[in-house]
Structures are given as structure tokens and as C-alpha cells.
Amino acid sequence: MSSVTTPSSSSTPATPATAAQVRARLETLRAHDLPVHGGRTLAYVYDSGVAEADAAGREALAAFGGTNGLDPTAFPSILAMEQELVAVARDLLDGPATTVGVATSGGTESILLAVLAARDGAPAGSPAAAAPSMVLPSTAHAAFHKAAHYFGVRPVVVDVDPVGFRADPEAMTAAIDETTVLVVASAPSYAHGVIDPIPQIAAAAAARGVRCHVDACIGGWVLPFLDETTPAWTFAVDGVTSISLDLHKYGYTPKGASLLLHRTPALRRGHLFATADWPGYAVLNTTTQSTRSGGPIAAAWAVVQVLGRAGYVSLARAAREATLAVAEGVRGIPGLRVVADPDSTLLAIAADRPGDAYRIADAMVARGWFVQPQLPYAETPPTLHLSLSAATAPLVPEFLATLGDVVAQVRSQPPLSVPAGLGGMLAALDVAALADDAVLDALLAAAGLAGDGSGISLPDGMAEVNALLELAPVPVREALLLGVLDRLTRPTSR
């Protein structure tokens, strides 16, 4: 978790505000946000550093913000731009002529739809239709768990290779059974930044007549532009049936744009939706949205035009070189290590003393750099995640110098510890008890997080909170996170 600051609440103003007042207020609100430009925010945002592309994206976002993709015949511009983006992606991903695709609001929606289409594609009356499951490497993105939760598809989670953190094709093959509707692999995985052995996984899925989705949400707009030989992962691999790739990550477009491509129209049918069974307009939707802003699609289209293939080649190379340079630099910092050799532009960094990772993250924020803490999971210790953007490339020496300082300072302190009582309490907690608001409030108070009333107050630094979460078993972590989310989003917490 990262620290957040919520604004104080205000009711609808009695007198209309002037444009200048609104602008000033928006600027005040944004003062607590991470910067989206400048190359010092190494997760959540992706910065090309190309002012012309940013301007084109902003302009198109504003110009099309009021358009509605609800009905593709009413705003043909949105359909045209969406299909041009799909065609660009099809070429990047070696898609055959039969390839079709849709633009979605983000990687999660692309993944939700891939899972939905796979579930609904199971033959009627089959065990897969009756009790669908999907085979996931343990490193698959959390969005697959969300899809499992939403759509009633049982996740069958398979351990990855504990050294390289890549999916284990033999174990995945063994996990496929008559209920499997989908097998998943990543190019690359978010947490470790490595590409799964997709040819073997896709072949195993195809041999059983099961779909294989490649999650290239974060690598899809980078890997095709690098000339290094990466393991094959596109539609060039037989058996790959769908691929997700996000425009709003390394496409460097404004938020709200991702693509989902299917090898054939038949594979997509499960997430097309139409209904005429009500008295209103004919509903025909390709995604979970109905009213759908044309803004993010137009913005993505505009940025892709401005950057072009040459632009993406140079941005991908810059980000890749920055990643390799940071990995090299980190190997020279005593107390740190690179968890897996990066296959793309993501890095996971671990500290010798596990709790140091959280403190390093806090200290980096204080020095103007955001790196993202990741809690320990299975064989992986707590890590710091870095997504390197092109805009960070020129700052690598400065980043490494700051990181070196921060690590030395953190290592000079005694190790991070949590109050003994709290640790014991968390380990002994019954997750069912956390459904009770009073129990959760008491726990948050004991952790020093109680706010006014039923609210919550997060500290400036999150190291202690992350260290506490780390002690809790996964179901307790989830219950605590839900409790925090619930309290953060109540009006009384503002």
C-alpha cells in the first residue's frame, strides 16, 4: 500500500465557481498526487517524455470526452479509431487476417472479457460449462482473480519456477482437466518482469482443445519494438487464442485504453452482448461498458499516430536500456538484489533485510522518487517494483545515486519490527471476525490507523503498515485491505 491523502469534503457550492477558481482548486487537489510526468514515478504512470505526443493525447481526450461509443453507428469515428488501433496491434502481435479485437477501459477489463468469452465458449453440457476453471501461474495478474470472482470461474493456481519465476509448463499441463476453459501466461509478469514459456503452455492448451490467453498488458507495446530475441509469445505461437495489451501503459496514452485481440471472431462471441428485451434503445455492447467515452480511444489513436513505429522503437529501446542499467546499478548496491533478470522493462528488487524494502520505498518518496512496494508471496520476499519508462532513461544515474544513499541510510537503522502484541494478534486472527466492523476498527486503532468516527487515517510513511500486512495470512490481508478501502471511501473519512 501507498499513503494517500483525501481532500476535505465540500457540498455543491451555492454560488457557481469561476473557471479560475475551479482550476486553482484542481491544482490544490493534485498537489498530493504522484507526478505523472518527469520520469520519477516508477509505477502507475508511463511517461514517454515526448511533449508533442502528450499534447496530442490531451487534445483528443478533451475533444472526444463527450462522445459515446454506446452505439457504434451513432459515433462512427470511435469505431473507426478503435478498429485502426486493433489493426496496428494485430500487426504488432503477428495476428492472422482473421484477428478481431476491441478497445477496453484497461487491462483488467481486457482480462475480464477474455475470461468471460472463454467461460461462455465451453460446449453446452460439458463439465467445463457446468463448473468452469482456469489454469493460472501464481504470477498471473490479480485481474484474473477478479475475473474468477466476478464470473464464477475457479482459479487453479500453479506454482512457478522458484528461481526464474517463470510459469512451469509441465505443472500447468498437468493442471489442465475437463473443467478447464482457459490457460493463462504472461509476457511479461507484472511482479517479476519475466516472460513465461508460452510456446509450451499454448501447445499444451491446444492439445486439450482449451484456449490460451497471453497477458501482454504491460509488455505488448514494448516487446515487439525491441530487436532482442525474446521467447515467442504472440499469435505466431500456435495455440495462443487471445492477447491483452494496454495502450495506457507503454503505448504512453492517457488512462482508460487497452486492447483485447482474439485469433478469430468466434472466440470473441462470448463477450459481445445484445439485448432487445426492454422498451428502450437496442443495446449492443462489445465490452462491460455501455455508455463509453470516445475520449481514451481518440487519445490513444492520436498518440499512436504522433509517435509512429519509429517513435515506439526508440522509446522501447530507451526504456529497455534504462532497465538494464538500473539492474546493473542495483547489483552494485550492498544490501540489494535483482530478483529476476528482466525480460522487458520491469524490475523487482529485494533487500537483504526484508523489512528494508518498505523503508526504502518511503525514503525514496521523500526524495521525490516513487517505487512500488510488493508484499512477500510464496518464494518471493518483499520487493520493490519498478516500471521503467523512456522518460526515466536520462535520470538513471541520479536514481541509482539516490537509491544507494537511501539504502545505506536504511541499513544503518535497526531492522523494522512491529509491536510483538500486534504481530501475535494478526497471526491468531480469525478472518471471519474481521467482517465485524467493530473488530476491524479496534484492530486499525491498535495499528495506529484510526481516524475520526468510523474513518481511517493513514500515516505519511507506509513501512510499518506494510510490515504488519506482511505478518497476516493472505485471507486476513485481504480482509484488512477491504476494511481500509471501505473506510477510505466513506464520507466521514474525509
Ligand X SMILES: *Cc1c(COP(=O)(O)O)cnc(C)c1O
Residue of 251, 286, 306, 308 lying closest to 60 (CA atoms): 306
Sign of the CA dihedral with 35 first, then 39, 42, and 43 last: positive
CA diameter of the chain = 70
Give the three cell numbers for residue 425.
494478534
- Exactly one of 60, 201, 204, 218 binds ligand X (CB under 6 A); that residue is 218
Considering the rule CB under 6 A, would residue 347 count as an interface residue with ligand X?
no
In the range 251-280, which residues lie near ligand X by CB under 6 A? 258
Strand pairing report for 258-262 and 211-215: unpaired
> In angstroms, what is the minimal distance from the CB of 190 to ligand X?
4
**Cβ(233)–Cβ(223) below 8 Å:** yes
How many positions of this chain bind ligand X (CB under 6 A)?
13
> In angstroms, what is the minimal distance from the CB of 340 to ligand X?
14
* CA atoms of 289 and 104, how far apart (whole Å): 8
Full strand arrangement of the beta sheet holding 346-351: 336-338, 346-351, 383-387, 372-374
Cβ closer to ligand X: 196 or 464? 196
Give the three cell numbers for residue 88.
496496428
Torsion angle defined by CA atoms of residues 248, 254, 256 and 259, in that order, rounded to the nearest 10 degrees: -40
Cβ closer to ligand X: 90 or 385? 385
**Cβ(238)–Cβ(212) below 8 Å:** no
> In angstroms, what is the minimal distance from the CB of 104 to ligand X?
9
Strand pairing report for 372-374 and 383-387: antiparallel
Cβ closer to ligand X: 46 or 369? 46
* CA atoms of 420 and 365, how far apart (whole Å): 28
Considering the rule CB under 6 A, would residue 449 count as an interface residue with ligand X?
no
Binding mask 89-118 for ligand X (x = CB under 6 A): -----------------xxx--x-------
- Piece in contact with ligand X (CB under 6 A), picked from 11-19, 212-220, 296-304, 461-469: 212-220
Cβ closer to ligand X: 401 or 481? 481
Considering the rule CB under 6 A, would residue 221 count as an interface residue with ligand X?
no
- Exactly one of 215, 356, 464, 470 binds ligand X (CB under 6 A); that residue is 215
Give alpha helix (H) positions in 337-391: 356-366
In the range 138-167, which residues lie near ligand X by CB under 6 A? 141, 143
Cβ closer to ligand X: 165 or 190? 190
Give the three cell numbers for residue 103.
478497445
- Exactly one of 71, 82, 168, 246 binds ligand X (CB under 6 A); that residue is 246
Considering the rule CB under 6 A, would residue 470 count as an interface residue with ligand X?
no
> By Cβ distance, which residue is nearest to ligand X?
107
* Side-chain-facing half-sphere of 121: CA atoms under 13 Å: 25
In the range 279-338, which residues lie near ligand X by CB under 6 A? none
- Piece in contact with ligand X (CB under 6 A), picked from 120-128, 215-223, 348-356, 373-381: 215-223
Cβ closer to ligand X: 181 or 195? 195
Cβ closer to ligand X: 251 or 382? 251
Binding mask 177-196 for ligand X (x = CB under 6 A): ---------x---x------
17: left (phi over 0), alpha (psi -120 to 50) or beta: beta
Cβ closer to ligand X: 215 or 362? 215
Question: Which residues, other chains included, contact 408 with Cβ-Cβ below 8 Å and sequence gap of 6+?
Answer: none
Residue of 177, 218, 171, 225 lying closest to 194 (CA atoms): 218
> In angstroms, what is the minimal distance from the CB of 414 to ligand X?
35
> In angstroms, what is the minimal distance from the CB of 45 to ligand X?
12
- Piece in contact with ligand X (CB under 6 A), picked from 83-91, 158-166, 198-206, 214-222: 214-222
Cβ closer to ligand X: 179 or 286? 286
DSSP string, 415-465: PP---HHHHHHHHH--GGGGGSHHHHHHHHHHTT-B-STT-B---S--HHH
Beta-ladder partners of 346: 387
Considering the rule CB under 6 A, would residue 441 count as an interface residue with ligand X?
no
Give residues in contact with ligand X (CB under 6 A): 106-108, 111, 141, 143, 186, 190, 215, 217-218, 246, 258
